[in-house]
Chains A and B, each alone.
Chain A
Amino acid sequence: AQSVSQHNHHVILSEAASLELGCNYSYGGTVNLFWYVQYPGQHLQLLLKYFSGDPLVKGIKGFEAEFIKSKFSFNLRKPSVQWSDTAEYFCAIGSGNTGKLIFGQGTTLQVKP
C-alpha cells in the first residue's frame, strides 16, 4: 500500500536557523510529490511540487525540496526560517488512477523570534 512518512512531528527552531523536514514514501511506481503548508487557522496551500525533470525543485517563500528516487525521499529545506514560517507542513504523493493525494502525518514547525 502507498504511504507517506514524515519523521519529524514537531520542530522548534530559532529565526535564521536552517530547516530540513524529512519525507519518505512507499510506492513502486511513478509518483507526483508535493509539499503543502497550513498556516494557523488557514487552508492548505501548495508550497512546491515535483512531477519530473530536475529533482531539485524550488517553491514559494524560499522553500526547496529534493527528490531522491533511490531513497524514496522528498525532503523540504529552507536555508533561513522566519517567524512567519510557523505552520504545519504536509508531504503528499499523488499516484494511481483516482487522483487521490496521500498525506503524511504532518510536521508542526514553530519558529521562535
Chain B
Amino acid sequence: EAQVTQNPRYLITVTGKKLTVTCSQNMNHEYMSWYRQDPGLGLRQIYYSMNVEVTDKGDVPEGYKVSRKEKRNFPLILESPSPNQTSLYFCASSLSRGAYEQYFGPGTRLTVT
C-alpha cells in the first residue's frame, strides 16, 4: 500500500531535549516536505527536499533541521525543542516538486513542556 508513515504519532517531551520525528514513503517520490499545523493558521511548511541531499527552508524553519540521505526517508530534527514548537506535524511527499499533489502522513502530535 502506497503510504507515508511517521513515528512517533504522539510525543511529550521537555524543553531542550533533542528529538527526531521520522518520515518514510514507499512511493519513490522525489519531493518530501514537513508542515506544522496550528489552530487558525492552517498548515505551514517547515522544510522541503527536492531529492536526496537537496533540502531547503520553508516558511517556518527556525528551530528545526532535516536531512535526506535516502530517497524514502526525511527525518525532522528538533535539537533543542521549546514550548512554541508544540504542534501537529505532518510529513508529505509528491512525485516531484512540479506535481504539487502531496500525500500526507498520519501526523505527529508533539507537546513540549
Asked if B48 is at the interface of the complex by the 8 Å CB criterion, the answer is yes
What interface size band does chain A fall in? 20 to 34
What interface size band does chain B fall in? 20 to 34
Taken together as a complex, chains A and B put the C-alpha atoms of A43 and B37 apart, in Å, by: 11
Asked if A34 is at the interface of the complex by the 8 Å CB criterion, the answer is yes
* A43 & B42 in contact (Cβ 8 Å cutoff): no
Taken together as a complex, chains A and B put the C-alpha atoms of A32 and B101 apart, in Å, by: 9
Please report the number of residue pairs spanning A and B whose Cβ atoms sit closer than 8 angstroms. 62
- Given A43, A98, A103, A106, which contacts B106 in the complex, CB threshold below 8 Å? A43
User: Which residues of chain A (83-113) have a CB below 8 Å from chain B?
Assistant: 90, 92, 94, 97-101, 103-106
Determine the chain A residues whose CB is within 8 A of the CB of B101 once the complex forms: 32, 34, 46, 49
Determine the chain B residues whose CB is within 8 A of the CB of A4 once the complex forms: 42
Determine the chain A residues whose CB is within 8 A of the CB of B48 once the complex forms: 98-100
Among A9, A42, A44, A97, max chain B CB count under 10 A is at: A44
* A101 & B90 in contact (Cβ 8 Å cutoff): no
Asked if B81 is at the interface of the complex by the 8 Å CB criterion, the answer is no
User: Which residues of chain B (44-102) have a CB below 8 Å from chain A?
Assistant: 44-45, 48, 50, 56, 58-59, 90, 92, 94, 96-102
What are the 10 tightest A-B residue pairs by CB atom distance, in nearest-first order?
A: A99-B97, A94-B100, A103-B42, A44-B104, A103-B43, A43-B104, A43-B106, A32-B100, A105-B42, A100-B45
